[in-house]
Structures are given as structure tokens and as C-alpha cells.
Amino acid sequence: MSSAHAADPPAEEQIALHRQPGFVSFLVSRLAAVFAMQIQAVVVAWQVYAITRDPMSLAYVGLAQFLPMVVLLLPAGDLVDRFPRKRILQLSWGVQGICSALLLALSLAASERVGAFYAVLALFGCARAFTGPALQSLLPNIVPRSQLAQAIALNSSIMKIAVIGGPLLGGILYALGGGGLAYAVCLGCFAIALVLLLPVPIRFAEASQALEATAWRRFTAGIGYIRRQPIILGAISLDLFAVLLGGVVALLPIYAQEVLHVGPEGLGALRSAIAVGALLMGIYLGVRGIKRHAGMVMFVAVAIFGIANLVFAFSTLFWLSLIAMLVAGAADMISVYVRMTVIQLATPDAMRGRVNAVNMLFIGSSNELGEFRAGSMAAWLGAVPAAVIGGLGTLAVVGAWMRLFPTLRRVDRFDDASR
């Protein structure tokens, strides 16, 4: 990595974000990779279910990718802090491209060996464990510190384009040419991502520091650092419990069929509304940003997320439910924007890989466990009580965390979070 920069040169800070060397190339490369992941996720789930006709096979599709990623995240964070992050990201995307090629080969051979699909997905999950920490740690090395918050907002919002359009494009590609065409496009997207990443310069990396002697101490250093930093611990744990308790995505099929009576088209609209709300808010934050009271803004955003989910829980009107999901997506984007900016600014560059690995571990766990919480509670109590309890739980967490983490609540400007 490049030599240390004690401070961002004023001349570089005066350059508009989109003109910063390598930023647009990095953004488009990541967009191509996320499109590939979204397309592949839809197509492989469809293929596996078509082979097995067993709903549990869809659970195994997720599990095959999730378990290797969880196991490897902490070691991945350590490697990201010890070796060039750009190189690690290139290798990770390269392995994911190989996975797309393997799925392409299975499709062309009309293979019905579902175990082979799971094996490829497990390899894909291993590669994703390195992608996350490398990506999150690389962005602060590309743009000046003063433009990091804006870069995070634009990066997050543009990725929503792939989240919205990727599944739709995957379905169209599968309908036109089957899995072979879809995986060929995924392979092409990963190739584009790798090519566009090549010219991205690493200009704001700090000098490497001596790391802990043993592998275990290196792996767990990120956890230890987070525990000693109440701003980071508060931001990560607030998101963890808010999503764990308040998420209603797993309940959308039940609401669409039994409460709102809108069918699959309505279900798709509800899921898209979340992403559209996040996209619009991300664009706004990328242009305007948050100048003051960042900590309180984060708490208010999470509270609005909980209130929007409560409105959705009680709503029997499709248009009202759609607005509630739109607001929930926008509020979640504000929370993500503040959390990621605070974490990046409060973490030394030499620790970013390991801290971001822990953050990703919490995010992944909260999403998976949140869907399990919602589904199991709906099975026991019904969908509406499950959604109501989740929304109330989110509001309770906001109140408790404001008392437990006053340092986070008092963060005014993002620079206040700096180490």
C-alpha cells in the first residue's frame, strides 16, 4: 500500500468527489460485482428449487453461503489489515467469477446434482468473506477524509440500483436463455469489475504497523478495539438489535397474501419500496449530507424505522403499507450512512479490516437471525403480533441505547468521532 498521509492535502480536498482519481472507476466496478451477485442469487435459487421441489433446499442455498462467510470473516479482516486491500479484493472477485463459471458449466451440462451447486455456493461464501472487509476498508484509502461521508452515501445509494435491478434482470435472463445465459452475464460482470478496479489508485493508506504476535490475538483485535470504543460499539450494536427485532422483510409474503391481498406483484412492490426509499435517501445524503447532530440523527432514524414498521404492522391498506416500507428503507439508509461514517472515522487505518469484519459479522447475523425471529414468532403468534412486537422492540432499543451510549448520542459533526 502507499505511504502514509498525516492529513489530506487541501488541494485534493478541493477536488469534487466524482473527480477524485479512481473513485468513479471504483464505484462502477463495485456496481458490476453487486449486479453479478444479485443476478446469481435469484437464478441459483430458482434452479435448485426446480431440481428438488423442496422448500428446505432454499434454506440450504443460503446456509451454504452464510456459514463459510461467518467462519472466515475474522481471519479475512486480519489479512485485509496485513496485505494490500486492493489485491485481496481482486482475488476475491476473481474467485467469485470462477464460481459463476462453474455454475455456467453445471447449467450447460444440465446437471441435477444439487450437491455440486451447494459446493460452488460454499466456495462463493468463502470469497465473500474477504470481499466485505476489503471493500469497506478500501474506500477510505481512495477518497480524502473530508469527503468520506459523501462517498459512503453515494456508494450505498448506487449499490441499491443493483439490489433493485439485479433480481429483475436475473429473472429476465433466465427466461430468455436459462441459467447458462444468466451465469455468463455474471461472469462478464465480475470481469468488468476486475478491469475497472485495476487503475484505482490507493492514495490515503497509512503506513503499516506492527501487529499482534499470534493469529488469535490478531483475529480478535477488532473485537477488543470495538469494546473499548463506545461510539463504535454503540453504532454497531444499535443496528444489530434494531434489525434483529424490527425487520419485517421475512413477513412480507404473509402480509401480501393474507393481510393486503395483493398477490406476487404486490409482494415485489413492497420489497422494491424498501430499496427505492434507501436509494432516494442515499442520493440526497450524497448531495447534502448531515452536517450537525449526527449521533441524534442516527437515533431518530432508527426510531422512525421502528415507527414505519409499526404502521406497516397495523396497516390493511396496500398504499399505506407501501409508504411505510418506503419510509423504513429511507430511515435505514440514514442509519447506515451515519454508522458507516462513524466507524470509518473512529477506526485507525491499520485496524479497519478487522473492525469492518466484525461489523459485517454483526450485520450478517442480524439479517439472518432477524428473519428467523420474525418467521418463528409469526408461526407462534401470527404475522401481525410478530411485526408489532418487532416495531416496539426497535423503539425500546433506541431508548435504552440513548442512555447506554451517551457518547454516541452527543456526536455532533462526524469529525467528533475521530480517534
Give the three cell numbers for residue 224. 477488543
Higher-confidence residue: 26 or 282? 26
**Whole-angstrom Cα distance, residue 269 to residue 67?**
30
- What confidence tier does 314 reach under pLDDT thresholds 50, 70, 90? very high
* Statement: residue 394 has pLDDT above 50: yes
**Whole-angstrom Cα distance, residue 391 to residue 305?**
8
Could you please report the per-residue DSSP string of 64-75?
A: HHHHHHHHHHHH
Residue 411 and residue 295 in contact, taking contact as beta carbons nearer than 8 Å: yes
Q: Which class for 358: exposed (0-12), middle (13-18), buried (19 or more C-beta within 10 A)?
A: buried
Predicted local confidence at residue 382, as pLDDT? 84
Q: How confident is the model over 98-124, as a mean pLDDT?
A: 92
* Statement: residue 7 has pLDDT above 60: no
Predicted local confidence at residue 183, as pLDDT? 95
Q: How confident is the model over 318-339, as a mean pLDDT?
A: 92
Q: What percent of the chain has pLDDT over 90?
A: 35
Residue 344 and residue 203 in contact, taking contact as beta carbons nearer than 8 Å: no
Please, what are the domains in the chain?
Answer: 21-200 (1.20.1250.20), 215-418 (1.20.1250.20)
User: Dihedrals φ, ψ of 22, to 5°?
Assistant: 90, -10
Predicted local confidence at residue 1, as pLDDT? 40
Q: What percent of the chain has pLDDT over 70?
A: 90
Predicted local confidence at residue 239, as pLDDT? 84
Residue 77 and residue 355 in contact, taking contact as beta carbons nearer than 8 Å: yes
Give the three cell numbers for residue 327. 419510509
Reported as a single tens digit per residue, the pLDDT across 218-239 is 777 888 888 888 888 999 889 8
Predicted local confidence at residue 259, as pLDDT? 87
- What confidence tier does 12 reach under pLDDT thresholds 50, 70, 90? low
Predicted local confidence at residue 270, as pLDDT? 84
Predicted local confidence at residue 8, as pLDDT? 44
Reported as a single tens digit per residue, the pLDDT across 15-60 is 778 788 889 999 999 999 999 998 898 888 888 888 887 756 766 7
Predicted local confidence at residue 147, as pLDDT? 86
Reported as a single tens digit per residue, the pLDDT across 190-218 is 999 999 999 999 888 775 655 556 667 77
> pTM higher than 0.85 for the full model?
no
